[in-house]
Chain A
Amino acid sequence: MSQTTDWELIRLSNGNPKYFKHIVERYQNRIFHYLKRMSYYSNEDVEDMVQEVFIKVYRSMNDFESTDKFSSLIYRIAHNHLVDNIRKSNVRPNQNYLEDEEAVNIIRSEINLEMDFASSEAIEKIKIAILQLPENYREVLVLKFLEDKRIEEIVDILRKPQGTVATLLRRGREMLKNELLKAGIKN
């Protein structure tokens, strides 16, 4: 099954959930980390969310068009599920689940900071600066620099026009850079 494409698996899964297992195996880690990076939930809660996301993916499989990138469709469902969850709980993230290296990866394009030379205090400041960004800016940065998504994919995941995504990305980076400069982290 490792050679079978996502679309073939989706076609086989339609009516036989057993094949869907392979889709889950391919994407569960990526979706888990994406949700974890974007939320304040515990591992157990995020695992529950991952389950719900894949059940939604299974339910929506007839809505997918083979011209779309399959991973973008899963991310889109995960994004919508996360937005619904945050809206329902009405609680904003107050903790940061970014790994040290992930935090540095996000700011690397703005500030020339090598992981090896970054002090734990600096990394903590970076994490706080990232956390303080408005959610829509933070999400675009996470998708771009941690999930390695191209702009076109982010457009499909967030269902926002390309210009809007590019603006969010540019402004998010600027805001982050300003926050870091204020915190005394300079390139």
Chain B
Amino acid sequence: MKDLSDDIIKSIEERAVKPVLHWQYVSKKILFWIGTSLLVSLGALALALAIYLVQSIDWNMYSFLGYGSLYSFVMSAFPYIYILLLIAFLVLAYYFYRQTPKGHKINISVLATILIIFGLSVAFLFHILGVNREAYFQLARMPFYHQMMFTKEGEWSQPDKGLLWGEVSNVSKNNFSLRDANGKDWNVSYDNNTSFDKNIYDVQGQDVKIIGQEKSTNDFQAKQVRQWDGVMNCNGHRNMMMNRNGMMENSGMMGGRGMMNWR
């Protein structure tokens, strides 16, 4: 081959080729690192949200919802979307990491394992810190969210199946008023056979969840009345009865396991 060095230098000078500035490369590298971290965090958040959903749903209500077994209920209500999001974000994080300067050196299986372990750790951290609960609270205020996902709020908004959730008012000897998440007012009756986890007069102005039977368009017969243990009240505000750890204040109930003793 002929010596090309003079031609190349001439070409560089004629075309006024300039080296790309160092900071542009540094910015690009930083962007890929930020992108990788962000995607892993998003994947972890998706997993933490899935954990919160699984923890908050009252799984033993499956018979009221028409499921033949707990297994079929779990299969139906499992938050697959979040698991798919977790996988999608981790795959994207993998490709972002590959673009970092040394990203090509790590073996695919090693890198995938590191990303999965890191994602699980961050998800666990989000869960401990309550980040997933806060994220769920923001998402749960969107009306379409309960149509897309099987949520605790959706679970208890099925009066036709005997599950009702709302804010208590006007308590009298045999009934009380209740406004549900859709703003619909109910007249809820109770009798000596109705069980309560707290005195009904003490939960005026608070949210409760009820197992019972829809009698007519606005009438509901209560069999069991329990304090609401969701993160959001039916008026869309934060449930102040839950502390930062997801525990019910003034009761021994866990946020997501309050109905464990229900039959």
Contacts and interface: CB of A to CB of B under 8 A. Distances in A.
Interface stretch (B8-16, B49-57, B186-194): B8-16
Interface string A151-165: 000011001111110
B105 A59 contact: no
Interface in B1-44: 1-9, 11-13, 15, 17-22, 24-25
A59 B1 contact: no
B94 to A, nearest CB: 12
A95 interface: no
Nearest to A29: B1
A160 B104 CA distance: 5
Interface size class of B (residues with CB under 8 A): 20 to 34
A21 B19 contact: no
A43 B25 CA distance: 34
A58 B12 contact: yes
B5 A51 contact: no
A162 B107 contact: yes
Nearest to A152: B105
A155 B105 contact: yes
B101 interface: yes
A61 B19 contact: yes
Contact of B5 (A24, A55, A161): A24
A155 B17 CA distance: 29
A60 B20 contact: yes
A29 B20 CA distance: 26
B19 A62 contact: yes
Interface string A59-94: 111110100000000000000000000000000000
Interface in B95-133: 98, 101, 104-108, 111
A76 B34 CA distance: 25
Contact of B101 (A17, A46, A62, A65): A65
Contacts, number: 80
Listed residue (B9, B19, B101, B105) with the most chain A CB atoms within 10 angstroms of its CB: B19
B1 A28 contact: yes
Interface size class of A (residues with CB under 8 A): 20 to 34
A20 interface: yes
A63 B25 contact: yes
B85 to A, nearest CB: 27
Interface in B113-166: none
Contact of A21 (B5, B17, B106): B5
A159 B98 CA distance: 9
Nearest to A158: B104
Nearest to A63: B25
Contact of A51 (B8, B104, B108): B8
Contacts of B25: 62-63
Contacts of A62: 19-22, 24-25
Contacts of B7: 51
A51 B19 contact: no
Given A59-B18, A62-B19, A161 B1 contact: no
A12 to B, nearest CB: 12
B17 A58 contact: yes
Contacts of A17: 9, 12-13, 17
A21 to B, nearest CB: 5
B106 A161 contact: yes
A141 to B, nearest CB: 20
Contact of B9 (A21, A47, A161): A21
Interface in B211-235: none
Contact of A24 (B2, B4, B19, B21): B4
Contacts of B13: 17
B12 A25 contact: no
Contact of B108 (A50, A65, A159, A164): A164
A157 to B, nearest CB: 10
Given A21-B5, A47-B1, 5 more contacts: A17-B13, A51-B8, A161-B106, A163-B108, A164-B108
Interface of A: 14, 17-18, 20-21, 24-25, 28-29, 32, 43, 46-47, 50-51, 54-55, 58-63, 65, 155-156, 159-164
7 contacts: A29-B1, A43-B1, A55-B12, A59-B19, A62-B22, A63-B25, A161-B111
